Amino acid sequence: MAAYERLGEPLDPASTVLLTVECQRGVVGPDGALPELAREARSSGALGNVARLVAAAHEAGVQVIHAIAERRPDGRGASRNARLFRAAERLPVRQLTGSTAVRVAPPIEVTEDDLVVRRLHGLSPLHGTDVDALLRNLGCRTLVVTGVSANVAIPNAVFDAVNLGYTAVVPADAIAGVPADYTPAMVRHTLALVATVTTTDAVLGSLERS
């Protein structure tokens, strides 16, 4: 299990942003490109916990940003400098711009106040995207990181957030990766060194107190 920390002061809705990472139908949906990851995200309860956090953020007035990974049908601008990218090109379900695959997956609800940031390249929801500029314009100091995968995009998001000066909070039960036992190891031995590792219930309680 991860070494959880107390959140301390309640999260301030004015300076907190909730980030969902690649919680899109083509990734965590039942007919997604990565069935093992989709099953783990759902069976572990991580996707349901992301939905709970998003709903609570809406209620508390916390800004929600959904980070979506997609590609153009012609592949223009897509990264090809890693094995992961080349493998993605061969998957039966592709994350094509405008397709159902790049819509935020149920049970997560998206409101008109949410921001959706789409990237065509790279591994990180922050680096090379609009997310950092949006966070600064929103007055963000604390970034709550949720979603998939604990293998690649989540650690990228956390490291980038910390390098950019934000305090990263990771509800460990609202992220997922494969195999199942990899996520708690990643959290304990890596993410816990740079982020505040907590639980969905702790974040929900903090938002209620705020």
Q: Is the pLDDT of residue 3 over 90?
A: no
Q: Are 126 and 147 in contact (CB under 8 A)?
A: no
pLDDT score, position 1 = 45
How do residues 79-124 score in pLDDT, each as one tens digit? Answer: 888 887 777 777 777 889 999 999 999 999 999 999 999 999 999 9
Q: Which two three-digit tokens encode residue 110?
A: 């998206």
What CA–CA distance (Å, rounded) separates 139 from 152?
A: 27
pTM: 0.94
Question: In terms of DSSP H, where are the helices of the chain?
Answer: 25-28, 35-43, 46-60, 83-88, 131-137, 153-163, 182-189, 200-209
In the 8-state DSSP scheme, what is residue 92? S
